[in-house]
Amino acid sequence: MNNINKIYRTDLVETHALSEFNLNVKEGEFVSVTGPSGSGKTTFLNLAGLLEPTSTGTYELDGINVVGLNDRQLSKIRNEKIGFIFQGFNLIPDLNLFENVDVPLRYRGFNSKERKERIENALEQVGLAARMKHLPSQLSGGQQQRVAIARALAGTPRFLLADEPTGNLDSLMARQVMELLENINKSGTTIVMVTHDPELARRAERNIQIVDGQVCDFTLYQNNKVEAKQAVSA
Amino acid sequence: MFFYYLKLAKKSLLKTPITTALMVLAIALGIGVSMNALTLNHVRSVNPMPEKGKQLFALQLQTMNKIGTRHTYDDMPMQVTYQDAINIQRMTPSIRQISSVKTGFAIQTQDPDFAPILQSARATQSDFFEMFNIEFLYGGSWGKEIDHSPDNQVVIAEELNERLFGGGDNLGKNIYLNQNSYRIVGISKSWNPKPKFYDLNNGQFQRSEQVYIPFSLLPVHEYPSWGNNNGWGPEKIDTYQDKLNSEIMWIQYWVELENNDKKSDFLNFLAGYVEQQKKLGRFERDDARGTLRNVEEWLEYNEVVGNDSNILVGISFMFLAVCLINTVGLLLAKFLKRAPEIGVRRALGANQAQVFLQHLVEVGVLGFLGGVLGLVIANIGLFILRNQYDGFDVLATMDMSMFIAAPLIAISATVLSGLYPAWRVCTTLPSIHLKTQ
């Protein structure tokens, strides 16, 4: 992301949610994003996930300049390259686990055999293959988040965006989910995770902090030890 | 994806059964009422003889003097006199044409236990059946010679054959019409053109007659007309023969002409006939003339589809619109309530068109259900009409095209009304939907 600005306008107010925002995430990285409430973390996540357009600036995702693409192209990129994990899980309550994981695969256009294989593998990966006919309401919070992770993984995305993935979970569940994310990252998937929890943020390879819509500094971690801290001028 | 959307629609509709039931009921009421009006209008406006509609012509003659008036827009009588019917037929023997009039009898069989039944009948000529494409189960029409040499022969329709004999081939058997014995020469298949174009007097949608006798028998047995007898001036009529010689107009007259040249020739002949009759002291008006109207023109001339019928259709469709506006409100509320799910779907890769289609399919399913229930409501309405009012038994009946049209109208109208809610949902940014979590 280079010189990204995001401005929300109403009749009376103009809010600069992100200003001259610059960030480069390498393939295979695990980046945590922290910052106080209202700093622009969610806006960053929405822009990174192509859920809303930037006001100005350039954004290149996996070699594609995504600024100015139409809805169909953006949706295709979201579907094929990005996986989402939300704080509130965002499973569709009327669909069972199998059908929930099936959602992105339907839009991908896979045939039923391939979809079935991918769904079973993804649910297997998060340890819920035996409960695929259950509804989300029949699962615990941690299990629901694992289903959401399975849904994000089923399409084998290059890039995983996680918005407070452990925010609604107790510490045990949170640890399990975090371990799952770390394993996914080890298999080569790039992860950007927004979190309030400094402990979790430290488990990432790199932490960036957003304040007032700008990246104010970042920290590199290796084996949970601080190796470098560098101020970044926004 | 269509079947996936259908599956999602089923889940969504079952999730909110009361809202779904309200929407289906609103659509069904609108469709039921409009289909009722449309059916009545459709039956009125359909051409009952599409295959020969442009070859069959109702004949009209302006035979009245300056005092006489009729209620048609051009003041032309809709029937002809007996003498004109006989004259024209004699003068143009090579042209297929028929005179006919409605009459009626008390009918008995040779079975002494059979109670007599009163039945309307049609006195006509042998070509009537072929002109109007009436098919036969057994036998056929009486021979052409009977049109000139009267004989007690009769054609009965299959419904009456069923009633009199329990069906089957009963050619050669005798029945009694007003105690005169008639030999059955033909049993025709059921024939009920809607409207009853060949005789629009006394009920444009009444059932066709079940008994046909030779027109040539009228002067023999002096059968009365059960239809209209339109006179226009004082005449002394003491006997049946007086009526035959009078200016009373009571005969329906149809001519079959294959092409425009023949029609033109026949109109020329009519002009000559009018001039001839003027010389004989009849046809006093300056605008005395003969006209020919094909089936469609004849129905329009007789205002079979009146303005009131069209207005009724308009009002019923406005009612449908009101029902659909209510449905739009409910749909909008339902769809917007589902915003978080839409946000998730959009985030996971659904594009606007896919979300739009998903919702339109759901709306289409609603429309289909509303259409089916609307058909039931419409048929209940038509059933009540048929049982409450005379002459509605043919008119208030849905044909196949209406059965197909009802769900199609319901689906199209509902999909149309669902366009805005679906558009609202699909054009909102996914991040906005996700914020509503």
Neighbour order of strands in the sheet with A214-222: A82-85, A159-163, A190-194, A30-34, A206-211, A214-222, A225-231
What is residue B389's predicted lDDT score, i.e. its pLDDT? 65
pLDDT band at B93 (very low <50, low <70, confident <90, very high): very high
Q: What is the dihedral of CA A134, A137, A140, A142, to 10 degrees?
A: 90
Q: Where are the alpha helices (DSSP H) in B184-306?
A: 218-221, 240-245, 260-279, 295-301
A-B contacts at Cβ under 8 angstroms:
68
Return the higher-pLDDT residue of B156 and B393.
Answer: B156
- pLDDT tier for residue B183 given thresholds of 50, 70 and 90: very high
**Whether A104 and B4 lie within 8 Å, measured CB to CB:** no
Report chain A residues whose CB lies below 8 A from the CB of B343.
90
Helix (H, G, I), strand (E, B) or coil at A200: helix
The total number of residues written for chain A in this structure: 234
Does the pLDDT at position B186 exceed 90?
yes
What is the DSSP track for B333-388?
Answer: HHHHHTHHHHHHHHHTT--HHHHHHHHHHHHHHHHHHHHHHHHHHHHHHHHHHHHH
- Which chain B residue shows the shortest CA-CA distance from A151? B348
> For residue A229, what pLDDT is reported?
39
pLDDT tens-digit readout, B219-229: 999 999 999 99
Query: What ipTM was reported for this prediction?
Result: 0.86
Q: Cα distance from A45 to chain B (closest Cα, Å)?
A: 10
Q: Which residues of B touch A (CB under 8 A)?
A: 1, 4, 11-12, 15, 340-341, 343-354, 429-431, 434, 437
Q: Which residues in chain A come in under a pLDDT of 50?
A: 222-234
Whether residue B350 and residue A46 make contact (CB cut-off 8 A), yes or no, is: no
Instruction: Calculate mean pLDDT across residues B295-316.
Output: 81
Tell me which chain B residue has its CA closest to the CA of residue A90. B344
Asked whether the beta carbons of residue B12 and residue A46 sit closer than 8 angstroms, the reply is: no
Q: Which residues of A touch B348 (CB under 8 A)?
A: 78-79, 84, 103-104, 107, 151
Residue A21 in contact with residue A186, Cβ under 8 Å?
no
A chain contacts of residue B430, beta-carbon cutoff 8 Å: 51-52
Which one of A81, A92, A110, A149 would you mutate to disrupt binding with B, by most B Cβ within 10 Å of its Cβ?
A: A92
pLDDT digits (tens, 9 = 90+) for B408-428: 888 888 888 888 888 888 887
The answer to whether A51 contacts B429, with C-beta atoms less than 8 Å apart, is: yes
Residues of chain B with pLDDT > 70, as a percent, come to 95
Name B161's Cβ contacts closer than 8 Å, sequence gap at least 6: B137, B167, B168, B170, B187
Radius of gyration (C-alpha) of chain B in whole angstroms: 30
Structure tokens at A130: 């035996």
Q: Mean pLDDT, to the nearest integer, of B76-101?
A: 95
pLDDT at residue number A234:
27
Mutate which of B338, B345, B348 to disrupt the A interface (most A C-beta within 10 Å)? B348
Mean pLDDT, residues B81-104: 95
Nearest CA in chain B to A50: B347
Which amino acid, A18? L
List, in order, residues 6 or more apart from A124 with CB less than 8 Å away. Answer: none
Give the pLDDT score at A230: 39
Percent of chain B residues past pLDDT 90, beyond the cut: 53
Residue B394 is predicted with a pLDDT of 63
Residue B155 has pLDDT above 90, yes or no: yes
Q: CB B11 to CB A78 under 8 A?
A: no
B392 CA: distance to closest CA in chain A (Å): 50
CA A109 – CA A111 distance, rounded (Å):
6
Cross-chain Cβ contact B349/A86 below 8 Å: no
pLDDT tens readout for residues B235-259 = 889 999 999 999 999 999 999 999 9
**Residue with the larger pLDDT of the pair A80 and B202:** A80
| pLDDT attached to residue B341 | 87
* Closest residue to A103, CB basis, from B15, B340, B345: B345
Which pLDDT value is given to residue A128?
Answer: 86
Judged by average pLDDT, the poorest of A46-60, B84-98, B295-309, B356-370 is: B295-309
Q: List residues of chain A with CB under 8 Å from any CB of chain B.
A: 46, 49, 51-52, 71-72, 74-76, 78-80, 84, 86, 88, 90-92, 94-95, 103-104, 106-108, 151, 155
Residue B347 to residue A92, Cβ atoms within 8 A = no
Contact state of B347 with A107 under an 8 Å Cβ cutoff: no
Q: Which chain A residues are closer than 8 Å to B431 by Cβ?
A: 46, 51-52
